[in-house]
Chains A and B, each alone.
Chain A
Amino acid sequence: MIKLIIADDEENIREGLASCINWSDNDITVIATTADGECTYNKIISEKPDVVLIDIKMPKMSGLQVIQRIREDHNMNTAFVILSGYDDFVFAQKALKFHVHEYILKPCKPEDILKAVLDCTKHINLNKTLSPNNSNNDFYTFYSKFNDSISNLKERTIINYPIEQERRLISQLQLSPIEECMVNLDSFLEIAKHNNALSSIVNCCVMLYMKIYRILVERGVESNFTNLATVLWDDVNVLSSLENSLRATISEAYNRLNTKRETSISVSNAIRYIEENYKNELSLEIVANAIFISPSYLSGLFKQSIGMTFVDYIHTVRTEKAKNYLANMSLRNCDIAENVGYACEKYFAQVFKKRTIAHRFAKQTLVLA
């Protein structure tokens, strides 16, 4: 059951929201409705709601101030959905800074509000199911089960570590067909087995595992990988099951590295160039020239491997950078625009709004019942 607080200083909106939307069918309970900022703040502290639907303009303390105080002074995961009559860039900017889930513009449809709250609850449920498991199964605790096998090891040596095979395997994981990886894994195991003690062989495999995990972290595709490994690496004291565990681990790593992998080095060079030069003027021609390929080829590569156009990608990078700058409130918008490569502040605001408010903050037009 998700706990919701509705905060709005207008009574008919507050009560309308509480009664017109079918919360209970969606496993949501309205635990309180509040009419001013101070009261809202106190209720959040005492009732610990999962989601707060909050107006910006309220007596005693504004909605944004409430959110700010909760974020800065309390370690709570409360999700906020702002319901506001203001289509104001500065408000949206602050909302972004305080990790507001959505920013809905009044007037709007009840189903959009419900949708926004449901979207919050998805995250909440996900976090609830993931967090206990994650802490148990994370890589940082996973490896510790091998600590014991190391301590008990009389022969504290690894005579043969297949370093060449390891190196080759790591590069194959990113460049070659899976069959070649498996052939190389066989030769890795072959050499590892030259060690006499089983625990030395286990340790070779653990080292390889650590190396693979690190590559996944570097590529940002490591989430929940260890959950799988914990299941797989349960019975490592039998050689055949150890080999199977490692094989399955490599196959999973291969899939993760390759489903999202670009086909071309050129794309990554282009990304690198954009990353380093986003402050300056950028065009398809400039980037293509810098990395020695033709503009039309680069344009095609981008769509194919990243799934967005070159121009979209540049706007995305700049918007991301702008968000970093926005966290620093002392900068003026025109400075931010210049820092992320937009000569015109107005154009920057337009692009930024389109990419953040339109995507993350639902903008609605119809009248609330």
Chain B
Amino acid sequence: MGQVFRLSLNRGNNTVTIKDEKALIEFYLRLQKMRYQDRLESSLDFSEDVLNLCIPKLIIQPLVENCIVHGAEDNSETVHILVSVRVNNENMLEINVTDDGSGIPEDILPLLPDKLYYSETSSSSRFALKNISERLKLSYGQKYSFKISSKPGNGTQIIIKIPIENLNH
């Protein structure tokens, strides 16, 4: 709430290297695997050349958390999470988080990430996507892209792209 305004005042030191974000995700997955054991499988694929680039804090980890919330928590089958971060051939940083969990309901999907309005239930994990998109917008204006594809029952794929020239080392 009001965070758009507040975040824009606080902009600056809110970035982290991709290497650090990756280490955080690894730590987080280890913790979660203690809970879900073999019901959670993950694979991280970060290319060498992205590790020293800086992105806003907690852009990727919440996506992984969402996979778990909507995968392992909601059903009893094993959920597979794939995180890949690389520079694509359009010279964009491409962050891809894919899972085979329960997917996003069809009525919510068209509202994501930007069109949800805050409500009393704003702690819901759907708002994590909206918040990530907002924070990317504050850092990169219109220059990033945020694509969500999902099919109920088949999982979700989220792809974020940011032009390399907008990222600091």
- Given known pairs A214-B58, A214-B62, A262-B1, the reply for A174 and B122 (CB within 8 Å) is yes
Q: Is the CB of A203 within 8 A of B31?
A: yes
Q: Which applies to chain B's interface (DSSP): helix, strand, loop or mixed? A: helix
Query: Is residue A269 contacting chain B, with contact meaning CB distance below 8 A?
Result: yes
Interface residues of A in 269-326 (CB under 8 A from B): 269, 271-272, 275-276, 305-306, 313, 316-317, 320, 324
User: Which among B20-28, B82-90, B91-99, B148-156 touches the partner chain?
Assistant: B20-28
Query: Is residue A218 contacting chain B, with contact meaning CB distance below 8 A?
Result: yes
Docked complex Cα distance between A316 and B8 (Å): 11
Q: Is the CB of B1 within 8 A of A267?
A: yes
Q: Is the CB of B7 within 8 A of A220?
A: yes
Q: Is the CB of A260 within 8 A of B123?
A: no
Interface residues of B in 17-44 (CB under 8 A from A): 20-21, 23-24, 27-28, 30-32, 34-35, 37
- Given known pairs A203-B31, A223-B13, the reply for A271 and B2 (CB within 8 Å) is yes
Q: What residues of A have a CB within 8 angstroms of the CB of B128 in the complex? A: 218
Q: Is the CB of A214 within 8 A of B61?
A: yes
B24, B32, B119, B121: the one contacting A143 at CB < 8 Å is: B24
- Given known pairs A158-B35, A200-B34, the reply for A170 and B123 (CB within 8 Å) is yes
Query: Is residue A206 contacting chain B, with contact meaning CB distance below 8 A?
Result: yes
Number of A residues whose C-beta is below 8 Å from B?
52
Query: Is residue A150 contacting chain B, with contact meaning CB distance below 8 A?
Result: yes
Name B17's closest neighbour in chain A (CB-CB).
A140
Q: Is the CB of A272 within 8 A of B118?
A: yes
Q: Is the CB of B35 within 8 A of A268?
A: no
Query: Is residue B80 contacting chain A, with contact meaning CB distance below 8 A?
Result: no
A3-23 to B contact mask, C-beta < 8 Å, 1/0: 000000000000000000000
A140, A167, A214: the one contacting B20 at CB < 8 Å is: A140
Q: Is the CB of B123 within 8 A of A218?
A: no
What distance in Å separates the Cβ of B121 from its nearest Cβ neighbour in chain A?
8
Query: Is residue B4 contacting chain A, with contact meaning CB distance below 8 A?
Result: yes
Docked complex Cα distance between A346 and B52 (Å): 44
Name B20's closest neighbour in chain A (CB-CB).
A140
Q: Which applies to chain A's interface (DSSP): helix, strand, loop or mixed? A: helix
Q: Is the CB of B28 within 8 A of A163?
A: no
Query: Is residue A175 contacting chain B, with contact meaning CB distance below 8 A?
Result: yes
Q: Is the CB of B131 within 8 A of A206?
A: no
Docked complex Cα distance between A175 and B4 (Å): 19
Docked complex Cα distance between A167 and B4 (Å): 24
Q: Which of A140, A174, A265, A269 neighbours the largest number of chain B CB atoms within 10 Å of its CB?
A: A140
B93-135 to A contact mask, C-beta < 8 Å, 1/0: 0000000000000000000001001111111000010010001
A144, A147, A306, A316: the one contacting B2 at CB < 8 Å is: A306
B4, B65, B119: the one contacting A275 at CB < 8 Å is: B4
Docked complex Cα distance between A286 and B37 (Å): 53
Query: Is residue A161 contacting chain B, with contact meaning CB distance below 8 A?
Result: yes
Q: Is the CB of A217 within 8 A of B58?
A: yes
A157, A170, A269, A271: the one contacting B34 at CB < 8 Å is: A157
Q: What residues of A have a CB within 8 angstroms of the CB of B37 in the complex? A: 157
Docked complex Cα distance between A175 and B32 (Å): 27
Query: Is residue B167 contacting chain A, with contact meaning CB distance below 8 A?
Result: no
B10, B27, B30, B114: the one contacting A220 at CB < 8 Å is: B10
- Given known pairs A150-B31, A207-B31, the reply for A218 and B3 (CB within 8 Å) is yes
Name B19's closest neighbour in chain A (CB-CB).
A140
Query: Is residue A69 contacting chain B, with contact meaning CB distance below 8 A?
Result: no
Q: Is the CB of B5 within 8 A of A269?
A: no
Q: Is the CB of B62 within 8 A of A175?
A: no
Q: Is the CB of B34 within 8 A of A260?
A: no
Q: Which of A156, A220, A305 neighbours the largest number of chain B CB atoms within 10 Å of its CB?
A: A220
- Given known pairs A147-B27, A269-B117, A324-B141, the reply for A220 and B123 (CB within 8 Å) is no
Q: Is the CB of A268 within 8 A of B2?
A: yes
Docked complex Cα distance between A158 and B8 (Å): 39
Query: Is residue A219 contacting chain B, with contact meaning CB distance below 8 A?
Result: yes
Residues of B bordering A, CB below 8 Å: 1-8, 10, 13-14, 16, 20-21, 23-24, 27-28, 30-32, 34-35, 37, 57-58, 61-62, 65, 73, 114, 117-123, 128, 131, 135, 141
Kindly list 14 other residue pairs between chains A and B, CB separation below 8 angstroms, not including A265-B119, A276-B114: A139-B24, A140-B20, A140-B21, A143-B27, A150-B34, A158-B31, A163-B73, A170-B123, A214-B58, A218-B131, A223-B10, A265-B1, A313-B5, A317-B5
What are 28 A-B pairs at a CB distance below 8 A?
A134-B13, A140-B20, A140-B23, A143-B27, A144-B23, A150-B30, A150-B31, A157-B34, A158-B35, A161-B35, A163-B73, A171-B123, A174-B123, A206-B31, A207-B32, A210-B28, A213-B58, A214-B65, A215-B123, A218-B58, A218-B131, A220-B14, A265-B118, A268-B2, A271-B4, A272-B4, A272-B117, A317-B5
